[in-house]
Structures are given as structure tokens and as C-alpha cells.
Amino acid sequence: MSDDRVLDTTAAHLDHLLAAEQASARMPSLVAGVVRHGRLVWWTARGDVVRRGEAAAPDHRTQYRIGSITKTMTALLVMQLRDEGAIDLTDRLDRHLPGIGYGDRTIRALLAHSSGMQAEPPGPWWERTPGVTFAELTSRIDASTAPLPAGRQHHYTNLAYGILGELVARKRATTWWEAMRRHLLDPLEMARTSYLPEPPAADGFSVHAFAGTLTEEPAHDTGAMAPAGQVWSTVEDLAKYAAFLAEPAPAIVRPDTLTEMTTISSGTPEEGVASGYGLGIRLTAGGGRTFVGHTGSMPGFLAGLFVDGSRRTGAVCLANGTAGLRCEGLPLDLLGMLERHEPSLVTAWTPTREVPAGVMDILGLWHWGEAALFLSYDGAQLALSNPGAARPAYRYMRVGDDVYRGVSGYHTGETLRAVRRADGSVSHLECATFVYTRVPYDQEAPIPGGSPR
């Protein structure tokens, strides 16, 4: 199967999904694309971009406003600073922004929308009015009006990302936008992503609920709130961004940092385990998988971008209507359609070339109490599994002679050690008070509480 494009039959089904969405959502125009293994393999558009009364068909290079997808980019800039040691996510805001309201909240809490701070900045609706300076924005902030205590649950806040953008600007000694361009957009070659629209770009509209007529929406420079939703982009550029989120480039951000960002940090009782929020990135479940990305809305515009990192696929949609588009549902439907018609192939099994010294000694059957477990090696990691289980219970990386570090499951971050007898043979394994023996309750091993025999 070529990764350069989808099959014609698959494209027909994807085209149908987009056409049905544009019609049912009543979007003046809608453009979408699908990414696979780092490439835009399908895109199509529906409707017309209306500029100054003249209709024109959009394409993959037509700019739309991406709204809160901007927040994922701001979050990446913050995480780059963390990885460089310029900040710590546990730092209080006022350590870096002295005198600011909500100064006792941590950077991590702002990223995860768990700071408890208000959703919107005080004053007129920032999305529909000219932006203000950061000094003016922060002069209005009063933490005494916080709707929730810090850390209680996810409470989405645009204000937090205006503040995080200023944090980036001060640490980089430049503007938030210049930091964005230099540290993210240029490395990803997203040349059609901009602060203000650059033709060809769509105008934003609201659609009359009953008449179906269009009303043009304003598109202001949002000033200090820009890091929350200012950016304009295209399907082609967002495809590059989706490819990066599916397979991060170490020169931009460490893969383990993106894993940290896409691990649930906050949620709500209403959404339960169906979805949640990491550090600047939304997570949502579907078809037994977890998708990561974000939706976006600004007056006259709607957007969605979600990726399936394990399959290295992603989907993007952009529209110039204020309400009605399924910004999360459409990308997930596109990815589901792609998988149904062109299923991803599992990674080919390859023989292990070399087993590190000492690893062969500990492979095979072990017991935790009476429970039987299998320890195997795949050429990179140890896997401790229940017989017949679909996936390993725990995984470990070798970090030294007879020493392994947990990388998944209950023992993540814990140390597994192989304990040897005087003659060099392995007696038992120990990990965080768990003792694994070759026979159940081996009386020669230090069983916690003693052997029941």
C-alpha cells in the first residue's frame, strides 16, 4: 500500500463524509485532510469561500482561523522551556510573573486547565473585540472570583493561555508570536501559518438559524489573549502539525515530553473516562483507542485536529462558520473511515539479534504468590505478562547489570532487581516490595509476611 495517497474507493467514502458534514452543519465552506505516516494523503473541500461578495472554492492552502488549536502550540512552547530547564511545571506563576493574580497557581495547573481560574478574562468578550496589552489584561484579574479551587477538576480557561503566552515571551525575551515562529512553525516548515490572515484566506460568518443567510463576523487582533486562539492556518500546514503530534521530532520536543502532554492530567465528572485533558492537549476515546488533539472556535470559524499516534494517522478540518460543525466528531469519523477501508498494519515481528548479559537468566516463568507470570524480552524491553493476556501487565527497560526500570503499568518508574545467590544463579526478582519466585512461595526467598507453607 502506498502512503502517498488513499485508494480511490477510500477517497470516495471520505468525500461523502465531508459533503454530508458541510450540508448538515450548514458551513459556508469546509475543508479537511487526512494524514498517514507523515504525509497528507487525502484532502477535499466543499462550499465556497465568500470574499467581498465573490465566491471562490477553498483548497488545501486556504487559511482559516484555528482557534484553540493555538493552545496546543503555546503548550509546546512552555514544555520546550521546561525541557531546557528555564522553568519547572511545579513553579508558581508569580515566580516568573511577579504580582500577577492567581500567582499561587502552578504552571502545570494552567496547562491542564485545573487551576480553577475563570474561563474568560474580565471585560468585553475578548474574541469579538480588539485585544489589549498584557498589563491591561492582568490589571483586571481578581483571583478572589475564581470559580473553583485549584486542582479540583478540569475547568477550561482561555485566560490561563493568555498568561502562559506571556510567560513564554518573557523567558524567550521576545514576543509570543516570534517565539512560536522561531521554535515551532519554522522547524515544521509551516509557512502558511500566520498571526493575521494572508490571502487566500476565508472570511468568517455566522449563519442565520432560520433564513440561512450569512452575517460576517469580526476578526480582531486579540492582543494579550492571542496565545489562546489567534492563529490562522491551512489544511496543508496543519497536516504537518498533525504528523508531528503523531510522531514528534526530537529536535523540537522530546518524544517523552509529548507523551507527558498526552497523558490525562485533569477531567470532569460529566466526561468520566471517555475524555480528558493533558498538558495543552485534549484526549478522547473512540473505537477502543485514544485520540489526541484539540478543537478550535473563533467568531466565524471552527476547526478540529486529532491524531492516533499508534497508527501515525491524523485528521484535520477547517470551516468558516460560527457554530454547527462537529469539530471533534468529524476528524474521528474520517480516521475511522480510513481504518475501515485501509487498515493499519501491525509492526512486523523481527528476531532478537542479541540478548544483554544476565537477561537470559531471568526469562521464563515466575510466580507472585500463587499467580503465574511470564517474563519475556522483545529486543528492547522486558515484558511481564499474565498467561493469555492481550498485553503485558508491566514493561521494563534495562538500566544496569540485573537492574531494570519500569516503563509501563503499575511499576512505572520503579526498579526491578534480579537477586542472585552466591553461586551467581538467580534467586528471585524484587520490585517495590513485590517478590517474584520460580516456584510459588519459594521458602528460600524473602516472601513478605513469610511463606504460608
**pLDDT bucket at 393, cuts 50 / 70 / 90:** confident
Mean predicted confidence (pLDDT) in 78-105: 97
The pLDDT score that the predictor gives to residue 383 is 95
Domain shared by 140 and 276, yes or no = yes
| Domain with 290 in it | 8-341
Domain shared by 14 and 60, yes or no = yes
The pLDDT score that the predictor gives to residue 390 is 76
**Which residues, listed in sequence order, are joined to residue 302 by a DSSP beta bridge?**
297, 319
Query: Taking the model in full, what pTM does it have?
Result: 0.93
Alpha-carbon distance values, 360 to 157, 444, 449 (Å): 52, 22, 30
* Rounded Cα–Cα distance for residues 401 and 424 (Å): 13
Does any domain span residue 120? yes
How does pLDDT run across 44-53, given as a tens digit for each residue? 999 988 666 6
Q: Is the pLDDT of residue 240 over 70?
A: yes
Does any domain span residue 452? no
Domain shared by 281 and 371, yes or no = no
Domain shared by 363 and 337, yes or no = no
* Rounded Cα–Cα distance for residues 344 and 34 (Å): 14
Mean predicted confidence (pLDDT) in 262-283: 93
The pLDDT score that the predictor gives to residue 384 is 94
* CA 407 to chain CA centroid, nearest Å: 20
* Rounded Cα–Cα distance for residues 285 and 296 (Å): 18
* Domains: count for the chain: 2
Does any domain span residue 121? yes
The pLDDT score that the predictor gives to residue 50 is 67
Alpha-carbon distance values, 182 to 162, 178, 189, 324, 382 (Å): 19, 6, 11, 35, 40
Q: Is the pLDDT of residue 2 over 50?
A: no
Domain shared by 188 and 147, yes or no = yes
Domain shared by 315 and 374, yes or no = no
Torsion of CA 385, 388, 389, 394, to 10 degrees: 0
Eight-state DSSP code of residue 185: I
299 compared with 1, residue with greater pLDDT: 299
Does any domain span residue 350? no
Mean predicted confidence (pLDDT) in 74-80: 98
Domain shared by 384 and 308, yes or no = no
How does pLDDT run across 318-368, given as a tens digit for each residue? 999 999 999 999 999 999 999 999 999 888 999 999 999 999 999 999 999
**pLDDT bucket at 453, cuts 50 / 70 / 90:** low
Average pLDDT score, the chain:
94
- With a pLDDT cut of 90, the percent of the chain lying above it is 87
Domain shared by 331 and 363, yes or no = no
The pLDDT score that the predictor gives to residue 55 is 77
